[in-house]
Amino acid sequence: MSVLPNPVACGRIVSAGSGLVTAAGLFAASALAFRDIRYGWWTVILFIIYPLALVLNRMALYESPAGALYIWCLFLAMALAKTARREIAYGYGLIAGAGILNRASGFFAIYLLLPSLVILGLRNSVGLRRVFSWVIWTAIVSGIAGLCYLVLLLSPSFPMISVKNREFVYSIGELFRVPVAVRMVNTVRLTDWMVTYLTWPAILAIFSAFRISGFFRGKAVFLLWSLVPLSVLAFAGRTLYPRYIYFLSLPLLPLIAYSAGTAAAGLRRKSALILLMLLMIMPALYTDLKILIDMPHAPIPQEDRYQYVNGWPAGGGIREIMAFIRHESETEKICVITEGTYGSLPTTAVELYYFQNPNVIHKAVRQITPDIPDDIISLAADMPLYLIVNRSQEDPAWPVELVARYRKGSGTDFIRLYRVRPERYRHLTHSQIPFDSGGISLYI
């Protein structure tokens, strides 16, 4: 951000760049597994029109680099099984380590290495020496990735990360107390999200890939790298979102490409080939079009529409509020109070946009309490106070004036910007505090 100070632009460059890296990894993995670059190109085409990739690679989310690193680990696992070389193992360890630092899903690249080597290396007879070499390569990769993970373990924020992780997955002690019904619901939800984003023609193509002879071990590894994480999420997931299936759905694209490419090669008439392609890609293209021109009503999971466009987690209104803060801070110091601490949208936005601006004093509060904290009241004599409320949809009890509010997509949630007036508060009890809802009300 020292080169490009716009956080949105920086995030989107990283996401779009991760998409390009993912496409390259999918091409390499498909071409290596099926020994034909035509399948690599088929996989890249499918990735370009994959609706979930379109959604995530346009936003600054960790899932984009997580998917890129995961796919390159898959490619290196195949390469290591084919040619056991130190540089491949070192590269695998570094990429897996980067994946772990990015997201906990990076651990799957470590856990799945040895099974992948076994599947890809199976022959009529496997000697003890060969099995021992697989274990050694796995240990080397795990050691390098573990050294990378030490960076996170030594971070002063690691306890906070651990607490945040427990909001999304069950601890080992809780796993065996979770009702079976919860895991069944998780399985149904994850499967539904996979079908929605991949579309039914693609799902049928995955099954068809195993009915086509040849390259069984490669196809088995692709399926392994998808089904194992999916099963773990269904078994241990406490809070699930559709974006979690992104990295584990990517290994399925080469299987779809194998079916499509094999079918296309067997068609002699161009009209039949065009019809096949239309049947394969039209559902995905329709979803892509709706995502681009009418995201609030796109045929994607309701959870994603709520999170990214129509609900309080969505980013609608942030750009306008950040522009207002920039304008107000040009001539004087101001204090911006945001609802929520670690992971909060307005808190993160203010920190990203104004962490180097000496005229913006930022205060994050865990929740909007009935009374204004004393440390915030003490600032009122020196600078204007502004409050950004995003998650709570009720007006705060503080003495405030509404400056602006912005609707989230087509939903009923708003993000609101208030001017705090503590001078009205000082000589009144809480029950006497007036609420002034005046000011400018803006809708988008």
Instruction: Please say whether the beta carbons of 341 and 347 come within 8 A.
Output: yes
Helix H or strand E segment including 407: strand 400-407
Which ranges of the chain have pLDDT less than 70?
A: 1-3, 123-127, 423-444
Q: Could you identify the residue written with the tokens 């079918």?
A: 263
What pLDDT is attached to residue 284? 95
Q: State whether CATH 1.10.4100 applies to domain 318-432.
A: no
pTM: 0.87
Please count the other Cβ atoms lying within 10 Å of the Cβ belonging to residue 207. 10
User: How far is the C-alpha of 198 from the C-alpha of 281, rounded, in Å?
Assistant: 10
Q: Tokens in use for 167?
A: 């909001």
As a whole number of angstroms, the distance between CA 113 and CA 78 comes to 9
**Please, are residues 183 and 234 in contact by the beta-carbon 8 Å criterion?**
yes
Furthest C-alpha separation in the chain: 87
User: Residue 393's CB: how many other CB atoms inside 10 A?
Assistant: 12
Closest by CA to 301, choosing from 414, 391, 190, is 190
Cα-Cα end-to-end distance for the chain: 29
CA distances from 193 to 45, 189, 231, 292 (A): 21, 6, 14, 19
Task: Give the residue extent of every domain in the chain.
Answer: 7-306, 318-432
pLDDT tens across 247-273, in order? 999 999 999 999 999 988 887 777 877
Given a contact cutoff of 8 angstroms between Cβ atoms, the answer to whether 52 and 284 are in contact is no
Helix axes 270-293, 252-265, angle to 10 degrees: 150
Task: Say if residues 260 and 205 touch (Cβ distance below 8 Å).
Answer: yes
- Who contacts 129 (Cβ-Cβ below 8 Å, separation ≥6)? none
